[in-house]
Structure 1
Amino acid sequence: MAQQPIRPAAATKTQPTAAPVQFIFGKENYRILIISIAIVALGFFLMSGTTDIYSNTKIVLAPIVVLAGFGLGFYAIFKKPAANS
């Protein structure tokens, strides 16, 4: 005795509703993230160079600018996008 294959129930032919795509970040989040990347790049540019490696710009100002850029990047990631109603 051979077993009969089990056939699935007849599927209904309904059109799936297209839900609007929601991104994780909003437009403002991406804008802030790009600004933070530019600030970090500026900080590394201030840190570069071979002359006068013990200047206040390279030891004090550049690390503060880099850390501010990273902080702004974290803010851009954790900020909730505005709800569109």
Structure 2
Amino acid sequence: MQTFLRGISSLIGPEIFIPVARYAYPVIIPTMLMLNAGWLEIAYFLERWVHLSPRVKLWVYALFFLGLDLASVYSIAYYYYIR
């Protein structure tokens, strides 16, 4: 129960609670598998309506995930350095 209630103090105070990795570590692989399965399902869903060549699909796929990578790096830099 304490694990679930641990972050409530960040709702009241000015500091944001960031949980430690020991709680997230056991579920990293299952979470990534579920996320990848979801992205694959979205790709199959979009492929039904948009008919592109395999090369263009690869470029769209790579650029999309590059954009996600850049957004994550920006959010980390914003949290630790810019703010």
TM-score class normalised by the smaller sequence: 0.3 to 0.5
More helix by share: 2
TM-score scaled to structure 2, two decimals?
0.36
TM-score scaled to structure 1, two decimals?
0.35
Q: Looking at both structures, which has the greater relative contact order when contacts are Cα pairs under 8 Å and sequence separation is at least 6?
A: 1
